[in-house]
Amino acid sequence: MEQWEKFLAPYKQAVEELKIKLKGMRQDYQLTRQSSPVEFVTARVKPVQSIIEKASARNIPYDRLQEGMYDIAGVRIMCQFVDDIELICTQIRNRSDMKVVEERDYVANTKESGYRSYHLIVEYPVERIGGAVTILAEIQIRTLAMNFWATIEHTLNYKYSGEYPPEIKKRLQNAAEAAYLLDQEMSEIREEIQDAQKYYTKKRNIR
């Protein structure tokens, strides 16, 4: 266990730093543009048990975890509208403190499960007392509707180990379709919503 703790230490640090930095994007947008494509940010280090299970399922030897498993450090950015995803990606691609090494577009290429999200794999240097250690981290960017579906599906997946009864499978597909339509509807009235949000922010600041 002590070895896992040592191995995971730079990942823990990376996750904390990335969370602060990406939340900073939200504050920056709100100060300069009054509305932000970043709604909220969450982050986690993958639990040891999940690392072990994934390494075994994907045949990744333990001495190759660093380059073979991208999501030991995971950050999730939630946004309101589908178009915000590209805005956030562009911001991250232009940053000098991390380097995007791979992109997975499950928004344009919905997974068979119904999963939609945009994944950026980044190289991120962590300053340790022995010098800089570069780790891989996965940044998942998704709308609130995509996140709602993925969170529910993840829980059900855990319960059924991916072997859904046909009724549940169908319901999940229907829910994925509903989430897609919700995103489309919200995009249609985006300007209307954003005007209202700016008005609300101004009013709150006056008080």
Between the two ends of the chain, the Cα-to-Cα distance in Å is 52
Q: Among this protein's residues, is 192 annotated catalytic?
A: no
36 vs 124 by CB, closer to ligand 0O2? 124
111 vs 170 by CB, closer to ligand 0O2? 111
Please report how close the Cβ of residue 179 comes to ligand 0O2 at its closest, in angstroms. Answer: 12
32 vs 161 by CB, closer to ligand 0O2? 161
**Which residue in 53, 102, 138, 177 is the catalytic one?**
138
11 vs 70 by CB, closer to ligand 0O2? 70
Q: Which two three-digit tokens encode residue 66? A: 């660093």
Angle between helix 166-188 and 144-160 (nearest 10)? 170
Please report how close the Cβ of residue 109 comes to ligand 0O2 at its closest, in angstroms. Answer: 11
Please report how close the Cβ of residue 102 comes to ligand 0O2 at its closest, in angstroms. Answer: 9
Residues binding ligand 0O2 (CB under 6 A): 46, 50, 54, 58, 70-71, 74, 104, 111, 113, 115, 119, 150, 153-154
Please report how close the Cβ of residue 74 comes to ligand 0O2 at its closest, in angstroms. Answer: 6
Catalytic residues: 138
